[in-house]
Amino acid sequence: MQINSIKDQVSAEEWQLRTDLAACYRLVAAYGWSDLVFTHISARIPGPEHHFLINPYGLMFDEITASSLVKVDQQCNKVIDSPFPVNPAGFVIHSAVHAAREDVQCVLHTHTRAGVAVSAQKCGVLPLSQQSTFVLASLAYHDYEGVAFREDEKPRLQADMGQANFLVLRNHGLLTVGKSIADAFLSMYTFEATCQIQLAAQAGGELVHVNPLIVKGVAEAMRVQTGGLGGAFVWPSLIRKLDRTDESYKL
């Protein structure tokens, strides 16, 4: 696809955010978490305007570039002209989270097979793995209300999520938030692994649960494991992984 660069139309800060978000879309595709064109990753642009970047609706995640990302306001109206359409219905969940969580820069939502499967289990996420302990330390649930395009669902979703960083959308999928794109991605990597491990463990014999006291101390364990950097600790290596195969996301 021929996509004209808009690098000279935006600030250096916004361009870096665009590059990181495009990289995140490519990584989600590379790890097999995309659902054709039907989920979204959004990022808040710093500043008082409450503008966001979101994917051009209809592009596969491995096609998305920094320039093709669409800048929208809180109602999903385009702020910069773009030849690509956006999906206002798909932005409902994202705008609800961004409106309630000033601490959040990025919202990442997936419909993976493992994620949807665990979201349909009455037990929800079980303490079966080291990965699950990180999720359980900041986990919330929101019941399914049909395809999420109605504005009246927003207050219930916001109340259910509260200050959690991991959200199970019942019968629907997974959602993570982060103070940065890197944080949201690392959280989703952990969330997805948690669900895959749970399904694999349930297919075997009797399950052994992690001691609840370990879950209570997991925040400090995560800080130590990443040197206090969170997602920023692993993000440079993920960018190198992308750059070894295809740097077109930077265009």
Average pLDDT over residues 215-230: 72
Residue 246 CA, distance from chain mean position: 22
- pLDDT at 90 (0 to 100): 80
Please name the helix (run of DSSP H) or strand (run of DSSP E) that holds residue 169, with its range, or none.
strand 166-169
- pLDDT at 62 (0 to 100): 97
Residues near 216 by beta carbon (within 8 Å), at least 6 away in sequence: 137
Percent of the chain exceeding pLDDT 70 equals 96
The whole-angstrom separation of Cα 242 and Cα 181 is 15
Residues near 144 by beta carbon (within 8 Å), at least 6 away in sequence: 169, 170, 171, 172
What type of residue is 66? A
Structure tokens at 199: 């399904």
Summarize pLDDT for 12-62 with one digit per residue, the tens: 999 999 999 999 999 999 999 999 999 999 999 999 999 999 999 999 999
* Residue in this structure with the two tokens 């207050």, named with its chain if needed: 155
- Over 80: is that where the pLDDT of 220 sits? no
Summarize pLDDT for 128-147 with one digit per residue, the tens: 999 999 999 999 999 999 98
Summarize pLDDT for 164-195 with one digit per residue, the tens: 999 999 999 999 999 999 999 999 999 999 99
Which carries the bigger pLDDT value, residue 90 or residue 97?
97
The whole-angstrom separation of Cα 175 and Cα 187 is 9
Average pLDDT over residues 231-244: 95
- pLDDT at 150 (0 to 100): 87
| 56 secondary structure, DSSP code | P
Residues near 235 by beta carbon (within 8 Å), at least 6 away in sequence: 20, 181, 182, 185, 186
Number of C-beta neighbours around residue 213 at 10 A: 7
Number of C-beta neighbours around residue 145 at 10 A: 15
φ and ψ of 114, to 5 deg: -65, -40
pTM of the entire predicted model: 0.94
Residue 207 CA, distance from chain mean position: 29
The whole-angstrom separation of Cα 118 and Cα 209 is 16
The whole-angstrom separation of Cα 132 and Cα 194 is 5
The whole-angstrom separation of Cα 75 and Cα 140 is 25
Structure tokens at 198: 């749970």
The whole-angstrom separation of Cα 54 and Cα 52 is 7
- pLDDT at 146 (0 to 100): 92
Average pLDDT over residues 153-171: 97
Average pLDDT over residues 87-97: 89
